[in-house]
Every structure is written in structure tokens, then in C-alpha cells.
Structure 1
Amino acid sequence: MALLAISVFLTYYFHAILMLGTVFSHFFYIPIILTALWWEKRSILVAILLGGLVVISSLFYRPELLTLNDYGRALMFVVIAFVVASLSEQLKGREQEVKRQRDLVQRYLDVAGVLFVAIGTDHTIRLVNRHGCEMLGYREEELLGKDWFDTVVPGAFREARRQTFNEAIARKNTLPEQREHPVVTRSGDELILAWQDTVLTGDDGGPIGIIGSGADITDRIRAEEEQREAHDEANLYLDIMTHDINNANAVALGYADLLEATLDGGEQEMIRKLRNGVGRSIEIIQNVTTIRRLHSHETATKPVDLDAVIRTEIAHHPGARIAYRGKPVRVMADDLLSEVFANLIGNSIKFGDPGVEITVRIEEQDGEMLVSIEDTGVGVPDTVKPILFTRFARGTSSRSGKGLGLYITRTLIERYGGRVWVDDRVPGRPECGAAFRFTLLQSGSRQKPPAPPAPPPACRMITARP
């Protein structure tokens, strides 16, 4: 309105006072352009008003000065108003579309259950979602424009994180994997976020910032730490208990040996039962220790001398009748492979007759080693075979154990990428003894999916040797 009032005054002053009509109308472009930017198409009315003002004032004050040029200027006012108003509408339409898209993205980010933040190349926060504001304890306007590192990154990590950010911007590529990043809230609490980010690029391909997302995993990390501490404490108690029980067993065996040497008859039988009971206690402790080692961590397999492991285990049973003809061969296993042979050979001796004969065979087939431990004992009934290697599964004889040894055996073999099963030593005749078989990957071969069990080798006579 002020500009229009000035325009009226200039029209009167130039026409009535100065008797001129060629210069002042150039001023009229200012209100025409401004109203076109503000009011868009309605600015044409202002252009018509000012154009008419020029023509009418010329007719009223100096009709002899009215020329075609005056009509042309009036028409130009309308054209300028129309063009500028059209451009203004397009610009505002694009701005509204950009704003709509931005609001839509903001709504998407607000409903996300993690922190989303866009950080410019100058380290300032350009965008943050509602959950991020709630997590950090700030209002959105308190974060926008602030330096991300100075505001939410703990001081001990600030410079390192800033340097990592600058390096990512320089190479236009962020680390793809998820990391754990600490942040500090407005109240001073420190949170641990599972962080992942990516570089944002502009139309020219240059980096304009980084957008990152972070999920609060503080409670999970603390729970894991508490669980780890509880696990370590439980292991400490278990180590103490295992150590003390082993010491007590050693003392009991020592006294049993002394008593056995001084007693005879039925008393010696009682001592042997005592020794068997202590032996069971030692076996339980050994099984518990092995299971702890199995579940404490995943040990990577390595080449192991299978022949040496077998011969070492056979040497632990000097009174047993065990036949073995092997050859040096390396398989993929670890230090617990000896437990497999200790369990299987030990079972054959424990549950067989006093004269039980055991044969250990190894055979190469398709990058695997097939190991068979056959005995002439009581065998395994067909009804027991499917569950024999499950946890706490027991045989049908009175001397059956707790089932942990075979469960450990299966767990170890599967850990090495093999498979284990039990056959009849003589096909179709379980009473003639059992044949425990398992496969191991040879060193340098790749793991392959389990295949059906290989058919048992032909039965042959065993030449026992002490």
C-alpha cells in the first residue's frame, strides 16, 4: 500500500508539476514485481491499476504528451506481472512439494524406534527424528544447527569420532558394518548405540553429509556384562568344586589301594565296588569338564594326527584286547578329539565281557576318514540305536551309564563336520557286538553335507593282542 501511494504521488508530481511522463513509471515495476511474488496472479490487478494510472493521468493533465509508448508501458506492466506471477507459482509449488516430501520423510523417521540423524559436512545436525530427541533428552530445535560431536558424543571419543567422520566424507564411503557408539544425553547419562551410517551426496555427486541410525543397546550390553560376570563366577565355583572333588577322589583311591592289598575275600569285593564308585565320580567330573569346554567357545578346527590320537588312547588301556592297524593321516579336529576315542573305547571295555575284543579301523572315502570301533560285547538293540547319542539316553543293560559320554561324542563329531552312528558288528545280529562308526574330514578337504551312513564292512575274525 505504501508503494502504491508513492506511485500515485509520482504520477501526479511528474505530470502536474514537472510536465514529464517518461521516467517515473519505471518505479512502478517494483510494486508490480513484489505483489507478483507475494500475491501471484492477483498482482495483475495492481499492474492494470498502475498502467491505467499512467494513461488516465496523461489524458487528464497533459493529453498532448500521451503517446503509443504510454499504452505500451501499461501493457508491459500487465505482461511483467503475469510472467513473474507464473514463475512465483511454480517456485512456490516446488517449495510446497519439497516441504511435503520432507514432512513425509520426517513422519517416517518419527515413527521409527531408533535414532535417525543427518549430519552436515560442517558437523552440524541438519535433521533428527522424534525418537532421537526423546532418547537424547532434547527438543528438536535445541539440536538442529548444533555440532553433533560437541553436543552428544562423550569427550573421550569426540576427536576420534570426528576424525572418522571427516575421513568418511573425504572418501565418500562409510563403513558398512554395524558398530557400537556411545552417546551422552542431556542429563549426562551415557548410552550405547548400535550405529550404522551412510554418506549423503548432492546432485553433483559431492558429499553433503552423513545420515546415521542408532538403536539403544545399553540394556543388552549391561545384561551381557552381568551374564558374563555371573558365568565367570559360576565357572570359578565349578573349578573349585572340580578341584576339591578330584583331590577327594585321589585320596579315596589311594586308601582303596592300601585296603585292597591288606584285605581278601568278600572284603576285597567291597573295595572293588568302592573303586568303581570313585571311578564313576571321576568320569562324571571329566564329562562335566568336557561339556564346559564344548560350550564355552567355538574352537576352530585344525589338522590333527588321527593315528597318534588313536595310539595314545589305546595305550591308556594296556590290559584290553584292542586290534588296530593304522597309518599316519591328518583330519580336521581339535584337542578334544581324544575324548571321542576315550568314550567309545571306554564304553566297549566297560560294558563288554571280561574277554571283549575291540577293533579300531580307519578307511579313506571321498575326502573323509571313516573310523570304526567294533567290539564283541553285548551289542546295541535296534530300539536303542536311534536315541543312543541323545543326551541322557541310556542302554538297557544294568551297567548302562548316564548317557553323557555318547552325547559328548556326537557333539564333537558334528562340531568337526562329521556324523556318527552305531551298527551291528555282524549285520542283523545285535547280540554279536556293536560297531560305532563316525566320519572326519581329512585335512585340506571342504566340509560337505551329511550323507547316509556307509554300509558296514564285511565281518571278519579279530586277532586280539594284549
Structure 2
Amino acid sequence: MITLTEQQRVAILVVLLAISVFLTYFFHTVLMLGTVFSHFFYIPIILTALWWEKRSILVALFLGGLVVVGTLGFSPDPLVPNDYARILMFVVVAFVVASLSEQLRGREREVKKQRDLAQRYLDVAGVLFVVIGSDHTIRLINRHGCELLGYREEELLGRDWFATVVPEASREARRQAFDAAIAGGGASRGRQENPVVTRNGDVLILAWQDTIITGDDGRPVGMIGSGSDITDRIRAEEELRAAHGEANLYLDIMVHDINNANAVALGYADLLAEVLEGRERQMVWKLRSGISRSIEIIQNVSTIRRLRSGETTVRPIDLDAVIRAGIAHHPDAAFVYEEKPVWVMADDLLPEVFTNLVSNSVKFGEPGVEIRIRVEEDDGMVEVSVEDTGPGVPDPVKPLLFTRFVRGTNTRSGKGLGLYITRMLVERYGGSIRVEDRVPGHPECGAAFRFTLRRCDQPVTPRS
């Protein structure tokens, strides 16, 4: 649409008025045809009404006066009622068109006001907003979007969105997905991570959301999309994953080497214990105890790392097999366990629960300590109890026993990680753990560790 300047409009009006004056003279003096030419006068009247609204009434009065002057000055015929009606019609047309033009301009100003307000909202938003037409062209984009992409607004409006800002590698796929969404009239496709290319050729990753917009007839006419720049976050996550992988590599090497060294030291300690007597043999046993504690620490660190990293997934586990394997690791201890086949939801770290609880009973129990393991099912849950006849757990210690780095009162207590890890594992499986007196009200008669696991009614047959 061509937009005329104020000077151009004035020039056109002056020309039309000059033509009107010429036609008045020519028709009256040369052709002697009366006022038939005055139909031309509606053109400047209507244009003036559209451009300057009610100022057109002045032009109507001027042209009406021109009819009067032309008739009285050049025509032998006097003014007739039809001439007065024509002059009145000039004024009425000018008034009506000016009123309509004023209403139209008022609506345009209101629409522009609302559009400017919406544009200001979009401009202050910290994300990219863009409206893409069904023909792939950019219909609207906010200031932040222009700054993010490195373009001026006029450089983007009307251009193909996909050809301008979408990387070539994903351009065709994105275009096809857009066309499919428009054709199907679907709702928002949810949050996505879409790359865009800036004017300088840099690739940015946007957290992208879009939705279809429809016309008055309900048919899709385009899509409005918003995207926030998450490039730095994505790169930081990639760097963090790389650093995590490198740290795990170093940790694996360290654990492997320390375990090898501990195994060698433990072997030599056992050899020395066989050949030494008295005080020297007691020192070797202390040395062996320190090595065993080092092995326990390494095992705890490895368990926590696997737990935090999510290397294992919860799945059906044969609880009876896990318990029997845990008992087999302590051939010198006295166990009471009635085998009860049951499957629970856990993962490959479930044996650590029994290792920590059974080791706890063996380590802190008196010579000849007896350990009883019970398994009971109730309402979709399985409760496992590990009871011992050891010295028990004092009441003040019970609430804090599964807290990180909280140690028992026994002189042989460890660093407080074993039971903390046990609680983390049980809670990971959707259960809970507690410690009670084996004989209610008598802590000195031994402890009872009880934890729950979710039962699995459809066990999975292990692969051969």
C-alpha cells in the first residue's frame, strides 16, 4: 500500500481544486452545459475527508460556492433548486465521509495502541518471541529476538524463518515438522531444544515452545514461538559431564590400585599372624583391622558413587538369593534364616544393605553372637528384620544411627557411613528402615534392624 506524505496530499488537492475551477469555467463559458461537470467535485471532497476528516466541509463549501459563482457569473440560466440540492449534497457527503474516516482512524489508533502495548510487552521479555506465517515468513519478532539473532527488525520481517535462522543440517526436518503442525492444526508440541544460527554464524541452543494460531475461520494461519537461550547451560552441562567422567576414571584407577594394595597387605598380615606370637601377633591383628577398615571405606565410596550416578535401575530382584549370598560371606557367624522365596523391587546394590547390617552385627556382637533374619509380607510390602544377640543400641543413639557420620557408642564403631548408605539404598527402593530392641524395653539384649521393600508380584527370570 502506497503511503503519501502530507506535502503530496496537499499538492494533489491543489491540483484537483484547480481542475474544478477550470471545469467550472470551461463548461459554463465554452460548452454552455450547466453544472453537469460538478460530479467531479466529489473526488476532492472525499479525498479531503479521508485525509483531513472534517476539513473536507470547507472544501465542500468552496466547491459549492464555485457552483454558485459559475452559474451567476457565466451562465445565462439562474440558480435552480437542483443547484442548491447539489451544494447541500457536497456538504452532506463531506460530513458523512469525514465522520466515517474519523471513526476508522479512531479504531486504527486503538488497534495501534494495543499493538504497541503488546510489542512493548514482547520487547521487555527476556526471551525471543516470533510469529511465523503458514508460508514460513516472519510476521513479527520482538526486540530481544532481533538482538539475539543479530538482525534489525526490518531485516527479518517477511523473510523465510527456516532459510534465515535454522541451521542447514536440521532445516528441512524443522520445516516439515512445521508444515505438519500447520496442516494438523495441533496444539503446542511441548518444550524442545532447537538450534538457531545468528547473523554472525554462531549456533545458539534455544529452549523452544510454540503453538498454532488460527484465523477467524478457525483455520491455522501460523505459529507463535518463544525461545530462551540455554547455550551456556548446555555447554556447562557438557563440560560437567566430561569432568564427571574424568573424575570417575581417576576414582576407578584409585579404587583399583588401593584395593590391590590392600589385598597384598592383607595377605602379608595373615602370613605374619601365623608365625608371630604374643604382643607382635596382636599388633599384626590391629594392622589387619586397619586394612579391613580401609577396604570398607573404599567399598562405601564406590557404593555412594554408584548410588549418586544412577548407574543401576530399580527392577525385580530375588530377595532370598541376596540374603543367602550375604550369609555365605560370613561362614564363621551363627545365622538363623528360614528361606522364603520372594521378589522385591531393588537393584544390584541391594546386597550392600545386607553386607552393612550383617557386618554391623558381627563386628559389634559379643563372641558367639547369633543373627536371625526374618522375612514377612504385608500389603504389597516386604519387611526384613536382621536381629542379633549383641550389646544392642542405646535409646539416645537410635534416632541418629542412620545419619551421616554419626557413630555408635562402641569402641569399634566405624566412620558412620555404612548405616547411612543402607538408609539411602532402602529409601531409593521406596522403603524405610529403623532400629529397635530385639527384646522390647531391653536394649542390652540385642538390636533388631527392620527395613521394608516393595514386593514384586511378577518376578523376572534371569537371563542364562
TM-score range, shorter chain: over 0.9
Which of the residues 337, 341, 352 maps onto 1:328?
341
1:230 aligns to what?
243
2:5 aligns to what?
none
1:51 aligns to what?
64
Which of the residues 116, 133, 146 maps onto 2:129?
116
Q: Secondary structure at the match of 2:235?
A: helix
1:344 aligns to what?
357
Which of the residues 394, 397, 404 maps onto 1:384?
397
How far off is 1:174 after superposition? 4.9
User: Which one-letter code corresponds to 1:111 in the other structure?
Assistant: V
Q: Secondary structure at the match of 1:438?
A: strand
Instruction: Work out whether 1:67 is the aligned partner of 2:94.
Output: no
Bigger shift: 55-64 or 98-107? 55-64
How far off is 1:349 after superposition? 0.4
8 Å CA contact 2:343, 2:457 repeated in 1: no
Q: In structure 2, what is the Cα distance between the partners aligned to 1:268 and 1:298?
A: 42
How far off is 1:444 after superposition? 5.0
How far off is 1:60 after superposition? 2.9
1:251 aligns to what?
264
8 Å CA contact 2:34, 2:75 repeated in 1: no
2:204 aligns to what?
191
8 Å CA contact 2:127, 2:228 repeated in 1: yes
8 Å CA contact 1:21, 1:65 repeated in 2: no
Say how many residue pairs are matched. 445
User: Which one-letter code corresponds to 1:68 in the other structure?
Assistant: P
1:455 aligns to what?
none
Q: Secondary structure at the match of 1:13?
A: helix
Instruction: Report 1:202-213 matches (<5 A).
Output: 202-213=215-226
**TM-score computed with the length of structure 2 as normaliser:** 0.92
Q: Secondary structure at the match of 2:345?
A: strand
1:18 aligns to what?
31
Bigger shift: 61-70 or 29-38? 61-70
**1:89/1:256 Cα in 2 relative to 1: closer, same or farther (>3 Å)?**
same
User: Which one-letter code corresponds to 2:255 in the other structure?
Assistant: T
Consecutive unaligned residues in structure 2, runs of 5 or more: 1-13, 459-464
8 Å CA contact 2:138, 2:157 repeated in 1: yes
Q: In structure 2, what is the Cα distance between the partners aligned to 1:243 and 1:67?
A: 118
User: Which one-letter code corresponds to 2:144 in the other structure?
Assistant: H
Q: In structure 2, what is the Cα distance between the partners aligned to 1:47 and 1:34?
A: 11
Bigger shift: 116-125 or 354-363? 116-125
How far off is 1:103 after superposition? 0.6
Query: Deviation digits for residues 35-68 of structure 1, max 9, x if unmatched?
Result: 1111111111211221232233223333536432
Consecutive unaligned residues in structure 1, runs of 5 or more: 446-466
Q: In structure 1, what is the Cα distance between the partners aligned to 2:202 and 2:193?
A: 16
Which of the residues 16, 21, 37 maps onto 1:3?
16
How far off is 1:261 after superposition? 3.2
Q: Secondary structure at the match of 1:35?
A: helix
User: Which one-letter code corresponds to 1:356 in the other structure?
Assistant: V
8 Å CA contact 1:359, 1:374 repeated in 2: yes
8 Å CA contact 1:116, 1:132 repeated in 2: yes
Instruction: Work out whether 1:353 is the aligned partner of 2:362.
Output: no
8 Å CA contact 1:376, 1:433 repeated in 2: yes
Which of the residues 252, 257, 261 maps onto 1:239?
252
**TM-score computed with the length of structure 1 as normaliser:** 0.92
2:462 aligns to what?
none
Report % sequence identity: 74
Query: Deviation digits for residues 188-224 of structure 1, max 9, x if unmatched?
Result: 2221111111112111112222111111111111111
Bigger shift: 148-157 or 217-226? 148-157
How far off is 1:173 after superposition? 2.0
Query: Deviation digits for residues 275-302 of structure 1, max 9, x if unmatched?
Result: 2222111111111111011000274422
2:323 aligns to what?
310
User: Which one-letter code corresponds to 1:51 in the other structure?
Assistant: G
Q: In structure 2, what is the Cα distance between the partners aligned to 1:110 and 1:397?
A: 67
Instruction: Work out whether 1:283 is the aligned partner of 2:258.
Output: no
How far off is 1:175 after superposition? 4.2
Instruction: Work out whether 1:263 is the aligned partner of 2:276.
Output: yes
User: Which one-letter code corresponds to 2:151 in the other structure?
Assistant: Y
Instruction: Work out whether 1:371 is the aligned partner of 2:374.
Output: no
Q: In structure 2, what is the Cα distance between the partners aligned to 1:55 and 1:299?
A: 101
8 Å CA contact 2:403, 2:416 repeated in 1: yes
Q: In structure 1, what is the Cα distance between the partners aligned to 2:274 and 2:188?
A: 72
1:219 aligns to what?
232
2:146 aligns to what?
133
8 Å CA contact 2:133, 2:139 repeated in 1: yes
Query: Deviation digits for residues 427-451 of structure 1, max 9, x if unmatched?
Result: 1111111111111111159xxxxxx
Instruction: Report 1:419-430 matches (<5 A).
Output: 419-430=432-443
2:461 aligns to what?
none
Query: Deviation digits for residues 296-332 of structure 1, max 9, x if unmatched?
Result: 0274422212122111211211111110113111111
